[in-house]
A and B are shown apart, each in its own frame.
Chain A
Amino acid sequence: MTNLSPVTVAPPRGRSGWRSMLPRWSPKLGVGLVLIVLITLIGVVGPLLVGDPSTIRDIGLTTPGGEFWLGTTLTGQDVVAQLAHATRGSLYIGLLVGVMATALSALFGIVGSYVGGYVDEGFNLFSNVMLVIPGLPLVIVISAFVPADQRGSWTIAVVLAITGWAASARVLRAQTLSLRNRDYVAAAKVSGEKPWRVITVEILPNLLPLLASQFVFSVIYAILSEAGLSFLGLGASNSSTLGTMLYYAQNGFALQREAWWWFVPPGLIIALLGCGLALVNFSIDEIINPKLRDIPRRDKAEAARTPDPVPRPDDDVVLTVTDLSVVYQVDKPVHAVKDVSITLRRGEILGLAGESGCGKTTLAYAINRLHRPPAEVTTGSVTFHDREGGDIDVLALTPGELRAFRWSKLSMVFQGAMNALNPVISIRAQLDDVLTTHRPEMTKAQRRARCEEVLKLVGVDVRRLSSFPHELSGGMRQRVMIAMALLLDPQVMIMDEPTTALDVVVQRGILREILRLRDEIGFAVLFITHDLPLLLELADRIAVMKEGEVVEYRAAQDMFEHPEHPYTRQLLDSFPSLTGERGSFVRSGEQTPPVDRSGEPTPSGGVR
């Protein structure tokens, strides 16, 4: 339910629709745009300002300066004038190819994968065939086949488009395959939309950033390939592009004559244009995958915290969290965890209940120091009281110490952890890997024995060790993840919604294992879930969180019988009793008071 990854916690507000399709401003984007705009100006405005590029003068190979500030060619043509016209020619071909290749890839990639069946198989086979044919040789063959006098810019553009669309089609196909299974596409079908409308209105807009980046990619490809072709003398006749400039420079032995002003400027423009387009593409990629964004790390605020480890209150306590606050330092700082104090005793199951966005996952991450910028611990301390004596101030650990601390003293089972197993590595190798990293002194036989031992502990057949994750059921994979968290015999285990994605019968089996392990091994569990009835049955004590604060913190039995905080009561009321009275769960069709009190966040309100 709470799919709260630290990076996406604060969705940018107000960036909607078309605006969210635009890349965010960044230095990369700025530099890229400046480069592209400058070069486009050279290509568009330049030819109007310079003279005829083909005028032949008898001042061959003049060095730059004076009237010809980039010198002249062997036949006395002005390099500046040639450069302006060549840039225009290259941009023209780049745009032509970009449009044609994107259209082709959209046709084969999007339509094919949406229609499915044989059409998709056919289109996909065709794109694959086009993909494995090496591009440049094919281009050379095709353009050599066309007589030189008929080889105009359009011919070259068509040839380049035909050879350059396949990779984009593959990318678009993969994305469309995922989009066509989205519920909103199904919903559009159910409301009776026609297939072409589903493609153009529901799917296509969501592909725009991808199409844009594929377009930019094909422009780069076209400009570079055209330059290559022209350099080989296979380019468009009667047209001047950056490639033809290089071709003539090569034929005029510019390199041997050290006439750098003849071949460096066109080469530089190709390189800078490619660079600018690539930088813009990075920014477009960040729309598709926001995780690529750089989040500035602010070290000073982290250091400002005064570490004050709490002395061990008594031997029974294993983890003390005092006044912990975590703030997401985004434009408008979000106080995700506010002054939370909890203690965890040995062999205790402490439940942490709350709804999505209440900060429970952020708290768990902060205890383990897994929070990443923009999240910051602003106040408070986390103290681990080791079984062997000694207290560890978790927030003050160096990265090396932290690595040793995590997993061996305190391990974590993540939300949806069963999907965190590597699908191509066997269970044994993945368990073994933890041991080789943390316990390098163990022999192979010892490691093997330990792996078998933990698997037995969580009730999975030892023969499953050589299986791969996809061969196990969801419940089985979750058990393997718990086994992995047990490997190093930790004193504390944090479990973040470990059973949320599982069926009740499977969940029951895992809960039984957790209780049994707690009794046998005596570790302490911090069990995070939104399911309060589950905690009431399972946990010893429960902390209820709301909007970053712990609103009620007491023994489970107590909480069930006499919930004090109105929010706790409201949560309890939200779960109907299976066999008991209906309570507030009467199918009245009326808006009952608890709903109004829940106060569905008003649109303008804070974090959801």
Chain B
Amino acid sequence: MTTLEARELVKDFHVRVGLRRVRLRAVDNVSFTLTPGRTVALVGESGSGKSTIARMIARLEKPSAGSITVTGPDGRKVPERQYRDNVQMVFQDPFASLNPFHTIEHHLARPLKLHGKPHGWEDVVQLLERVSLPGRDIAGRRPHELSGGQRQRVAIARALAPGAKVVVADEPVSMLDVSIRLGVLNLMARLQREEDLAVLYITHDLATARHFSDDILVLYKGRVVERGPADEVILNPQHPYTKILASAAPNPEARGRAVEIDPADVERAGAAAAYDHNTGAWEEVTA
């Protein structure tokens, strides 16, 4: 039972404006827990800090404050050296996340080797077959010979190679064609069930967040504005910002409706206190 707990995560970036250095808070006091077999979705627009959270969990960025701890099945904290055996990430763009120079075999054999697993041709083929790819046919190919969906499956296989129990998926389907998105999401769901994975699903798409996760956290400017069970948050949104997001999504059933969204309203909505569906309470904005 490997769980990951993020507590009061903060990330500040320093930007130079003229001669001054300005602090930009990308992630502001975000806490959540990933537990085996459950998917938590982080929903937000660009700039809301969701990718920064993913990069902090993948140890690509250092949090400015707060902690990320992984607890192993024995109930003890996983030491830093074994962190990457347990936590892996699937990147957004399968066209960018595979090195064009190397074969698929290289992409999978390396993580297997680095994490002390058997890393022969057969092991790579097996790994590819777990993500429903014809392993023998594909292992020797290079990324540009595969379609977008196939590449993303390879990327998922790479994340599973070290035997990770916590997987961060940063917009895993947004770069894929619509007709193959469902297949990739379902593959992730199958692997999650088989391996009892804890998944953090990062997306800007409210609809897939609703259907493919158990809990949803809505982010605005680095702050969680609403959290709760998926259906609750989407079907019964309490926070004004979540309501705006839901109304802005295309809806074929509402042809000819006039949605007026004033940017000032969005700003005002985002500043409101956060709502937690689990406790049914509004939490004050901490300064």
Asked whether, in the complex, the Cβ of A591 is within 8 Å of the Cβ of B147, the reply is no
Which residues of A sit under 8 angstroms from B211, Cβ to Cβ?
Answer: 576, 582, 585-587
Assess the A603–B137 pair: CB atoms within 8 A: yes
Contacting residues of chain B (95-123) with chain A, CB-CB under 8 angstroms:
96-103, 110-111, 114-115
For chain A, which range describes its interface: under 10, 10 to 19, 20 to 34, or 35 or more residues? Answer: 35 or more
B186 engages A192 (CB within 8 Å): no
Contacts of A533 in B (CB 8 A): 250-252
Question: Which residue of chain A is the closest to B181 with respect to CB atoms?
Answer: A574
Bound form: Cα–Cα A7–B55 in Å: 35
B255 adjacent to chain A (CB < 8 Å): yes
Q: Are A512 and B260 in contact (CB under 8 A)?
A: yes
Q: Does A598 contact B (CB under 8 A)?
A: yes
For the complex, give the distance between the alpha carbons of A415 and B149 in Å: 22
A-contacting residues, B60-108, CB 8 Å: 60, 84, 88-89, 91-93, 96-103
Q: Mark B140-179, 1 if CB is under 8 A from A, else 0.
A: 0110111111100001001001100000000000010111
The 8 Å CB contact of A600, one of B110, B161, B180, is B180
- A507 CB-CB contact with B under 8 Å: yes
Pairwise interchain contact A591-B132, C-beta atoms closer than 8 A: yes
Interface residue B261 (Cβ < 8 Å from any Cβ of A):
yes
- Of the listed residues A534, A589, A608, the one surrounded by the most CB atoms of chain B closer than 10 A to its CB is A589
Please, which residues of chain A bring their CB within 8 A of the CB of B96? 182-184
Q: How far is the CA of A93 from the CA of B246 in the complex (A)?
A: 69
A603 to B147, CA, bound (A): 7
Is the Cβ of A503 less than 8 Å from the Cβ of B45?
yes
Are the CB atoms of A512 and B204 closer together than 8 Å? no
Inter-chain contact A574/B179, CB cutoff 8 Å: yes
Q: Which residues of B, 174-197, contact A by the 8 Å Cβ criterion?
A: 175, 177-183, 185-187, 189-190, 192-193
Chain B residues lying within 8 Å of A191, measured Cβ to Cβ, are 84, 88, 110-111, 114-115, 158, 161-162
Give min CB distance, B183 to chain A, whole Å.
4
B206:A578 contact, CB within 8 angstroms: yes
- Compute how far the CA of A608 lies from the CA of B175 in the bound complex, rounded to whole angstroms: 14
Among A515-554, those with CB < 8 Å from B are: 530-534, 536-538
Cα A556 to Cα B259 in complex, Å, equals 19
Q: Are A594 and B182 in contact (CB under 8 A)?
A: yes
Given contacts A11-B144, A190-B58, contact A570 B114 (CB under 8 A): no
Give the residues in chain B near A534, CB-CB below 8 Å: 250
Q: Is B244 positioned at the interface, with any CB of A under 8 Å from its CB?
A: yes
Closest to A597 in B: B179
Contacts of A129 in B (CB 8 A): none
Q: How far is the CB of A551 from chain B (nearest CB, A)?
A: 13
Distance of A508 Cα from B177 Cα, bound (Å):
22
Contact with B along A566-588 (1 / 0, CB 8 A): 00001101111111101011111
Q: Mark out the residues of chain B between 241 and 284 whose CB falls within 8 Å of any chain A CB in the assembled complex.
A: 244-255, 257-261, 263, 266
In the complex, which residues of chain B have a beta carbon less than 8 angstroms from the beta carbon of A462?
Answer: none
CB-defined contacts of B114 to chain A, threshold 8 Å: 191-193
Is there contact, CB below 8 Å, between B46 and A503? yes
Give chain B residues whose Cβ lies under 8 Å from the Cβ of A182.
96
Return chain B residues, CB-CB under 8 Å to A589.
Answer: 186, 189-190, 192-193
B125 at the interface (CB under 8 A from A): no
Of the candidates A16, A512, A577, which one forms a contact with B207 in the assembled complex, judged by CB atoms under 8 Å apart?
A577
- The answer for the CA separation of A579 and B255 in the assembled complex, in Å, is 16
Q: Within 8 Å CB of A248, what residues of B?
A: none
Q: Give which listed residue, A187, A504, A507, A579, contacts B158 with CB less than 8 A.
A: A187
Query: Which chain A residues lie closer than 8 Å to B46 at the CB level?
Result: 503
Q: In whole angstroms, what is the CA distance A13 to B145 when docked?
A: 7
B142 touches A508 (CB 8 A): no
Q: How far is the CA of A205 from the CA of B261 in the complex (A)?
A: 49
A578 & B234 in contact (Cβ 8 Å cutoff): yes
Q: Is the CB of B100 within 8 A of A537?
A: no
Q: Bound complex: CA of A537 vs CA of B177, how far in Å?
A: 20
User: Which listed residue, B84, B147, B182, B210, touches A192 by the CB 8 Å rule?
Assistant: B84
Q: Please state if B251 and A592 are interface contacts (CB–CB under 8 Å).
A: no
A247 to B55, CA, bound (A): 62
Q: With contacts A16-B142, A17-B142 known, is A601 near B101, CB below 8 A? A: no
Q: Does B33 contact A (CB under 8 A)?
A: no
A603: chain B residues within 8 A (beta carbon): 137-138, 141, 145-147, 150
- Asked if A530 contacts B245 (CB within 8 A), the reply is no
CA–CA, A260 to B63, complex, Å? 73
Q: Which of B45, B55, B101, B235 contacts A579 (CB 8 A)?
A: B235
Given A191-B162, A504-B248 in contact, is the A587-B111 Cβ separation under 8 Å? no
Q: Which of B88, B175, B249, B259 has the most chain A CB atoms closer than 10 A to its own CB?
A: B249
Q: Is the CB of A587 within 8 A of B88?
A: no
Contact between B186 and A512, CB atoms less than 8 A apart: no
Instruction: Give the interface of A toward B (CB within 8 A).
Output: 1, 11, 13, 16-17, 182-184, 186-193, 201-202, 205-206, 355-356, 503-505, 507-509, 512, 530-534, 536-538, 556-557, 560, 570-571, 573-580, 582, 584-592, 594-595, 598, 600-601, 603, 608
Pairs A-B, 7 closest by C-beta atoms: A536-B252, A595-B183, A589-B190, A183-B97, A191-B111, A503-B45, A534-B250
Q: A189-B60, A557-B255 are in contact. List 9 more A-B contacts (CB 8 A).
A: A1-B175, A186-B91, A187-B98, A190-B59, A530-B177, A575-B178, A578-B234, A585-B211, A603-B145
B interface residues, Cβ below 8 angstroms from A: 45-46, 55, 58-60, 84, 88-89, 91-93, 96-103, 110-111, 114-115, 132, 137-138, 141-142, 144-150, 155, 158, 161-162, 175, 177-183, 185-187, 189-190, 192-193, 204, 206-208, 210-212, 234-235, 244-255, 257-261, 263, 266
